[in-house]
């Protein structure tokens, strides 16, 4: 254990468990953060490469007068996708911790370029305000009386690997499946879809695909036409983000609905959100609070989308159970009956034990299970 003291801040580093603590002792709020690495149960393929692990940072906030009550938020990065994926990311967390009593500034304008940290701070403060029990939005969901319908996620891989995942999801009762595409040969991906549709028609099983921007604008329409033969619910981000005119052309004549995902990242102002939606006119948008900057920012997207009759649903951004729990509780309050993308908590082998569990293709919350926060909270 190494101790560094610099004026009002105390920096403790435990080199074995890689936990970092920053304290600012005041009469109001104090905070610290802890960095952990979540391990995937099996390598998970995306168009940006194979994922075997991901780093996540837990932000812990408490009132100095009641230190036993702690609010916890989570910020995780997706390399090559998150705006926060930059060299000064951890320094920014240290700055937030040192200036935690300026939290209103951080939430309103100070973290525009760090949406994952803003999401974590918003969650931690909300958790602290509601008693530090990870009960941010009490509802029938948090009482284990109602679940949230979710889609089954199929990771990229070779044909046999993806086929086995599909069989497992269907046998588990999922009636909405999302396939990551763009990594193997397109004809093999079409063969997988044909295999599914042979046994399940579009009324029996909803199919979504996510290209993560893998198609070029020149080839996208032809591929959309071939995909439409399998009566898909939608395709996420067929071409990479930032090509508004090309995406608008696709959305105008597409044979299957298009959902924007990465396209939303980095857009903050209400006016620019409206301009993006008016220019592209997508059929759906997908909300990831950890990539957009929290719940308030996500609700701004929802409001602007609904003004234009644009559909939407919520997914996680591969957060661990702290972040997923917050997103799920918030999502339930939105009363969106569509299957949401909230089944990612089971992909990690060392996720924090929590009340979340999956039953009958839905995410549930059992308060009797409780939390094991020993890796985060050290009294």
343: its two tokens: 């089944």
Question: How far is Cα 343 from Cα 345, in angstroms, rounded to an integer?
Answer: 6
Question: How far is Cα 294 from Cα 302, in angstroms, rounded to an integer?
Answer: 13
State yes or no: pLDDT of 347 exceeds 90.
Answer: no
Q: 270-316, pLDDT tens digit by residue? A: 999 999 999 999 999 999 999 999 999 999 999 999 999 999 999 99
Question: How far is Cα 356 from Cα 353, in angstroms, rounded to an integer?
Answer: 8
pLDDT at 47: 55
Q: 11-37, pLDDT tens digit by residue? A: 333 333 333 333 344 458 999 999 999
Q: What's the chain's average pLDDT?
A: 89
What amino acid positions are annotated as catalytic residues? 180, 288
**So where are the chain's domains?**
2-129, 148-365
> What is the chain's Cα-based Rg?
21
Q: 2-129 belongs to which homologous superfamily?
A: Enolase-like, N-terminal domain (3.30.390.10)
State phi, psi for 243 to the nearest 5 degrees.
-105, 70
Least confident of 45-59, 81-95, 196-210, 357-371: 45-59
The string of DSSP letters for 133-177 reads SS-SS-STTTTTS--EEBPEEE-B--HHHHHHHHHHHHHTT-SEE
Please name every residue paired with 319 in a beta bridge, in sequence order, or none if there are none.
none
133: its two tokens: 């029990």
CA atoms within 13 A on the CB side of 56: 29
* CB 226, CB 201: distance < 8 Å: no
CA distances 338 to 125, 358, 362, Å, are 29, 16, 11
pLDDT at 311: 98
Count the Cβ atoms, other than its own, within 10 Å of residue 167. 12
Query: Which of the four CATH numbers 3.40.50.970, 3.20.20.120, 3.40.50.300, 3.20.20.80 does domain 148-365 have?
Result: 3.20.20.120
Count the Cβ atoms, other than its own, within 10 Å of residue 39. 12
Handedness of CA 93, 98, 102, 105 (dihedral sign): negative
């Amino acid at each position: 254990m190494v101790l560094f003291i610099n004026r009002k801040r105390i920096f403790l580093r435990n080199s074995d468990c890689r936990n970092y603590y920053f304290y600012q002792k005041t009469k109001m709020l104090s905070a610290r953060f802890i960095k952990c690495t979540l391990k995937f149960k099996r390598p998970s393929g995306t168009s940006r490469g194979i994922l075997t692990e991901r780093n996540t940072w837990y932000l812990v906030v408490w009132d100095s007068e009641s230190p036993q009550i702690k609010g916890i938020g989570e910020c995780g990065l997706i390399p090559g996708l998150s705006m926060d994926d930059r060299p000064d990311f951890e320094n920014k967390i240290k700055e937030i911790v040192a200036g935690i009593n300026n939290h209103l500034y951080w939430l309103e304008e100070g973290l525009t370029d760090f949406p994952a940290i803003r999401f974590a701070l918003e969650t931690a403060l909300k958790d602290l305000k509601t008693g530090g029990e990870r009960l941010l939005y009490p509802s029938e969901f948090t009482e284990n009386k109602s679940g949230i319908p979710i889609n089954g996620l199929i990771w990229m891989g070779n044909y046999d690997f993806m086929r086995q995942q599909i069989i497992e999801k269907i046998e588990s009762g999922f009636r909405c499946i999302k396939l990551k595409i763009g990594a193997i040969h397109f004809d093999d991906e079409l063969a997988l879809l044909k295999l599914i549709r042979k046994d399940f028609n579009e009324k029996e099983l909803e199919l979504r695909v996510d290209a993560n921007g893998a198609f070029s604008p020149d080839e996208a329409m032809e591929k959309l036409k071939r995909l439409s033969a399998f009566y898909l619910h939608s395709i996420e981000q067929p071409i990479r983000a930032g090509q508004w005119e090309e995406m608008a052309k696709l959305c105008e004549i597409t044979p299957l609905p298009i959902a924007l995902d990465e396209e939303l990242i980095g857009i903050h102002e209400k006016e620019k959100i409206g301009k993006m939606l008016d220019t592209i006119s997508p059929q759906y948008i997908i909300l990831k609070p950890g990539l957009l900057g929290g719940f308030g920012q996500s609700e701004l997207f929802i409001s602007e989308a609904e003004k234009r009759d644009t559909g939407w649903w919520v997914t996680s951004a591969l957060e661990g159970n702290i972040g997923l729990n917050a997103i799920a509780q918030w999502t339930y309050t939105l009363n969106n009956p569509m299957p949401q993308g909230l089944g990612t908590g089971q992909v990690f082998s060392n996720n924090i034990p929590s009340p979340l569990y999956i039953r009958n293709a839905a995410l549930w919350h059992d308060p009797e299970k409780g939390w094991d926060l020993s890796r985060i909270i050290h009294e």
